[in-house]
Structure 1
Amino acid sequence: MAAIVALLCTLIFSVYSLGDALSLNYYDKSCPQAEVAITKAVKKAIANDKTVSAALLRIHFHDCFVRGCDASVLLNSVGKNTAEKDGPPNISLHAFYVIDNAKKAVEALCPGVVSCADILALAARDAVTIAGGPNWEVPKGRKDGRVSKATETRSLPAPTFNISQLQQSFSQRGLSMNDLVALSGGHTLGFSHCSSFQNRIHNFSTKLDVDPTMSPSFAASLKSVCSSHNKVRNAGVTMDPSSRTFDNTYFKLLLQGKSLFSSDQSLLSAPKTKALVSKFASSQEAFGDAFVKSMIKMSSLNGGQEVRLDCKVVN
């Protein structure tokens, strides 16, 4: 914990340098109880449904990677415009109701003050902390965007990406290889549908049915759930055996050939990222520190214009 606190002290200045007017005390005077209300809404939701932790973290990530962290992923499709949440990579996103509930609670305290983008960033932090991960102060002051297009979700990193594609995707958003590995650790939470890793366990190549980098026993267990012509709706597996706890199990399994996605496995294909995987696998604290740093960096990307009164529609 001391390491995380020390890390945050040095990060405050780097956040300001991004020029997004984010600060740790942004709502201290305008809505001092906002964070308490948001955390209460998140805790209530997770108490009823443990999958909410992974869902909120994923929504935040998918939001930030398209137009910056502007809550554009929360907007509903309107008329002829199909919004981000209805784009192919986002169809499986869920738990939007948690953000709506948090927004209602905050609006009751201070109408028109706290952005949906800030609520989503804070909720993602709370989701990680409640799942046993690190806690950190979230810089605030994001604005909500007015544009949301499903076509732009094509820019999200796919589970089939190789290391070069991942590096390009992250670097375009000002994120480093360190950030790539640390944020990939978020895969310790949640569930994956068969379609996201089907390419590794069926018809991998013209000569091989299964990805040779995958543990044979692990591949067999996945095949038992996901057939080559899978017809079971929503079939899939948890991201790791402790998928409701935020820990470094993801990295340990990766080194054992038990990762789900091609993008996960690709982290072992470059010396720098492989070294980081080994470091995080051997130290939960090192992973926690790196994850906090990368989350603050990623969530400080913002290009919104307003504070929405309803997270699902523009003002």
Structure 2
Amino acid sequence: MALDVVLVRLLIIAAVASVLPARGRADGAAGLAIGFYNEKCPGAEDLVLEEMRDIVHEDRTLGPALLRLLFHDCFVRGCDASIMLKSRSKKGERDAKPMSYSLRGFDEVERIKAKLEEACPLTVSCADIIIMAARDAVYLNNGPRFPVETGRRDGKVSNCVDAENDLAPPNANIVDLKTYFSVKNLSWKDLVVLSGSHTIGSSQCAAFAGDRLYNHSGKGMQDPTLNKTYAPDLRMMCEAGNETDTTPVSMDPGSPHEFDLSYYRDVYSNKGLFVSDQALLDDKLTHDYVARMAAAPSPDEFFDDYAAAMINMGRMEVLTGHNGEIRKICGAYVD
């Protein structure tokens, strides 16, 4: 994405944010609570965990995929499951290019939803299922299992233009990243902590190879900040000039299935897969957090911070009370 286009979009996002109320923090979050379903659907969270165990056992790549799905849902119109909605005209969030073309986990959300519909019909929202599944994906990859607030309702609008405007691209610099997060009421700490989600899962060559390996800043060169011993490994996996290369590459090659601190060690060693990972070293506050986690003997601080940051993200522009709906099928058609 050209820099001038990114800047224009950021200005638009900031201008809109300055005149609209923050739905999630001011209004919607007031309807969220830990244990929201304790009376309405006892055992709902246990049922999600049970189903997630089976899903991850069948395909361990689906845990990180469902965690990514949460981010794409929350950053576009808030955490309202609008990412699940289908569009016959191919103009929904899940149709957006290029950020959403490789999203996975839709069928698994429907699978969990079907189980909950058997237990408690029209009670548990798709939006809450996504955040509970993401939390359990972290836990099932040896991360923490922390309380999450529930009580969201499902949105009825899904637009690919929103996804293309509101999601930070993988080549974003630190100024852009902080802007994308700040207009969503998220702090620099939320940014650096939630970036730690890249400690599990993989991306595709098309998402990073051009910027990091072959055409940094449009100059036909390798990103000079990329670790010189790591670059040849990436070149062996990713073709030059192939903008649709779907070859999977681990975001944390040392332990791609462990929710741990190795992501921060990689970033601190200039081995971040994306420009946006490397950018965390370009701000004093985010740099210092990366450095501290890279040297930490235990992930305890990161785990505590991650739980808090997930709560913050989960409050973004949510629908509660009589707003939105509870869908029986998460992937309903909107046109």
TM-score surpassing 0.5?
yes
Does 2:88 match 1:75?
Answer: no
1:261 maps to what in 2?
274
CA positional deviation for 1:17? 8.5
2:227 maps to what in 1?
215
Give runs of aligned pairs for residues 119-158 of structure 1, distance below 5 A: 119-154=129-164, 155-158=166-169
2:4 maps to what in 1?
none
| Alpha-carbon separation, structure 1, partners of 2:41 and 2:109 | 17
Q: Does structure 2 conserve the Cα–Cα contact (< 8 Å) formed by 1:249 and 1:281?
A: yes
2:204 maps to what in 1?
193
Per-residue CA distance 1:99-141 (angstroms, 9 max, x = gap): 1111000000110111000111100000000100111111110
1:6 maps to what in 2?
none
Q: Does structure 1 conserve the Cα–Cα contact (< 8 Å) formed by 2:212 and 2:223?
A: yes
| Alpha-carbon separation, structure 2, partners of 1:265 and 1:250 | 11
TM, length-normalised to structure 2 = 0.85
- In structure 2, give the amino acid aligned to 1:167: K
Farther-moved stretch of structure 1 (226-235 vs 106-115): 226-235
1:180 to 184, 191, 206: 191
Q: Does structure 1 conserve the Cα–Cα contact (< 8 Å) formed by 2:227 and 2:271?
A: yes
Does 2:124 match 1:114?
Answer: yes
Does 2:172 match 1:161?
Answer: yes
Does 2:283 match 1:270?
Answer: yes
| Alpha-carbon separation, structure 2, partners of 1:225 and 1:237 | 8
| Alpha-carbon separation, structure 2, partners of 1:197 and 1:81 | 25
CA positional deviation for 1:249? 0.6
- Going from structure 1 to structure 2, the CA distance change for 1:231 and 1:214 (only over 3 Å counts) comes to closer
Taking only the aligned residue pairs, the percentage that are identical comes to 38
- Going from structure 1 to structure 2, the CA distance change for 1:110 and 1:272 (only over 3 Å counts) comes to same
Q: 1:216 is paired with a residue of what secondary structure? A: coil
Q: 1:237 is paired with a residue of what secondary structure? A: strand
Q: Does structure 2 conserve the Cα–Cα contact (< 8 Å) formed by 1:182 and 1:291?
A: yes
1:296 maps to what in 2?
311
Give runs of aligned pairs for residues 235-246 of structure 1, distance below 5 A: 235-241=247-253, 242-246=255-259
- Going from structure 1 to structure 2, the CA distance change for 1:213 and 1:70 (only over 3 Å counts) comes to same
- Going from structure 1 to structure 2, the CA distance change for 1:81 and 1:234 (only over 3 Å counts) comes to closer
CA positional deviation for 1:205? 4.8
- Going from structure 1 to structure 2, the CA distance change for 1:212 and 1:233 (only over 3 Å counts) comes to closer
For structure 2, the 5+ residue unaligned runs are 1-24
Q: 2:203 is paired with a residue of what secondary structure? A: strand
CA RMSD of aligned residues (A): 2.0
| Alpha-carbon separation, structure 1, partners of 2:271 and 2:41 | 45
Q: Does structure 1 conserve the Cα–Cα contact (< 8 Å) formed by 2:206 and 2:246?
A: no
Q: Does structure 1 conserve the Cα–Cα contact (< 8 Å) formed by 2:66 and 2:130?
A: yes
For structure 1, the 5+ residue unaligned runs are 1-14
| Alpha-carbon separation, structure 2, partners of 1:52 and 1:206 | 34
CA positional deviation for 1:96? 1.3
Per-residue CA distance 1:277-314 (angstroms, 9 max, x = gap): 11222231111111111001101221361111110116
1:228 maps to what in 2?
240
Q: Does structure 2 conserve the Cα–Cα contact (< 8 Å) formed by 1:139 and 1:296?
A: yes
CA positional deviation for 1:18? 6.4
- In structure 1, give the amino acid aligned to 2:305: A
- In structure 1, give the amino acid aligned to 2:294: A
Q: Does structure 2 conserve the Cα–Cα contact (< 8 Å) formed by 1:188 and 1:243?
A: yes
Q: 1:200 is paired with a residue of what secondary structure? A: helix
Q: Does structure 2 conserve the Cα–Cα contact (< 8 Å) formed by 1:41 and 1:98?
A: no
Counting matched residue pairs gives: 301
Farther-moved stretch of structure 1 (129-138 vs 189-198): 189-198
